[in-house]
Amino acid sequence: MKLRIRFTKHGTARFIGHLDTQRYFQKLNRRAGINVVYSEGFSPHQKMSFAMPLSVGYESDGEYFDMEVKDAASSEAVISSMNANSAEGIRVTGCVMLPEGSVNAMASVRAADYLVRLKSCVADESDITGAVESFNASESFIVKKENKKAAKRNKGKHRAVGEESPAFTEIDLKSFVYELRYDNSENGIFMKVSAGSADNIKPELVIGSLMPKDASVFTPSDLMITRKELYTDGMTPLIDAGRVF
């Protein structure tokens, strides 16, 4: 049987990278007594598939991974045993059984929700809300997005004078930002954006594009970013692909 696990990362856990998070859950499964299926061969490993990696420094209310298990008593039992053995900052909040033949978590991601809080030194609240309103009122919003694959392919290659770097491509941000608003209750900017392997929009790109040209240049430490949810096609949360058992 294949299970999909939903978990949160807060506090100091936000500084744990993606690979270390994978290793953490492998150890947690052993401590919690989860009967995970292992691959065959000379170097067997737990059959797990994580959804979109979370950038170091981000907090999250909605991270996911799939794992294949030989058996499990119930969703509640899995959640309880994992949380009883988990470290501070990481909490399992959901467990469902996936139907046979389900697409794995990594390949399922199509969109993500983020909440971004900015320090007051970056821009005034009135400037931020004005920028959000201006974005929503515009028909198009052209920005330059970094193309890491192109940058890697062209590293060290000579370019003619005036020729733009292929590491950046122009995109219409309006096509990839599905919702953008200032959330007064959270004192931050909420956004629903395209995510996944095809068209992944980072919240920093959106925020940087919104900032007034005379605003202070911000650094990652000026932003507090929380990923709230990950979605499949049809804006369905990943957890809804399975059923509680």
Mean of pLDDT values over 171-175? 96
Q: Which of 66-70, 160-164, 166-170, 205-209 has the lowest mean pLDDT?
A: 160-164
Share of the chain above pLDDT 90, in %: 74
Give per-residue pLDDT as tens, 115-133. 999 876 566 778 888 999 9
Same domain, 224 and 185: yes
pLDDT of residue 147: 77
User: Do residues 179 and 197 share a domain?
Assistant: yes
Sign of the dihedral defined by the CA atoms of residues 63, 69, 74, 77, in that order: negative
Which tens digits make up the pLDDT trace of 208-233? 898 765 555 667 678 899 999 999 99
Q: Note whether 45 and 19 are same-domain residues.
A: yes
Q: Across residues 43-58, what is the average pLDDT? A: 96
Average pLDDT over the chain, rounded to an integer: 90
**128 vs 46: which has the higher pLDDT:** 46
The CATH number of whichever domain residue 56 belongs to comes to 3.30.70.580
100, 122: one domain: no
pLDDT > 50? residue 60: yes
Which of 95, 49, 99, 45 has the alpha carbon at shortest distance from 72?
Answer: 95
Structure-model confidence comparison of residues 92 and 208, the more confident one: 92
Residues in the chain, how many? Answer: 245
Count how many domains the chain has.
2
Of residues 240, 141, 140, 146, the one with CA closest to residue 200: 146
- Kindly list the distances between the CA atom of residue 64 and the CA atoms of 29, 137, 229, in Å, as whole numbers in the listed order: 15, 34, 9
Residue 152's pLDDT is what?
56
Asked if 89 and 9 touch (Cβ cutoff 8 Å), the reply is: yes
Residues 85 and 115 in one domain: no
Considering the domain architecture, whether residues 17 and 62 belong to the same structural domain is answered as yes
Alpha carbon of residue 212 to chain centroid: 26
User: Predicted confidence band at 94 (pLDDT cuts at 50, 70, 90)?
Assistant: very high
Residues 25 and 100 in one domain: yes
Instruction: Please give the Cα distance from 130 to 90 (Å, whole number).
Output: 36
Range of the domain at 224: 111-233
Say if residue 88 is in the same domain as residue 138: no
Q: What pLDDT sits at residue 160? A: 47
Other C-beta atoms lying within 10 Å of the C-beta of residue 19:
10
The answer to whether residues 68 and 177 belong to one domain is no
pLDDT at res. 69? 98
Strand partners, 237: 231
Strand partners, 6: 64, 94
Q: Are residues 137 and 48 in the same domain?
A: no
Please state the rounded mean pLDDT for residues 93-97.
99
Residue 93 sits in the same domain as residue 144? no
Shared-domain flag, residues 84 and 130: no
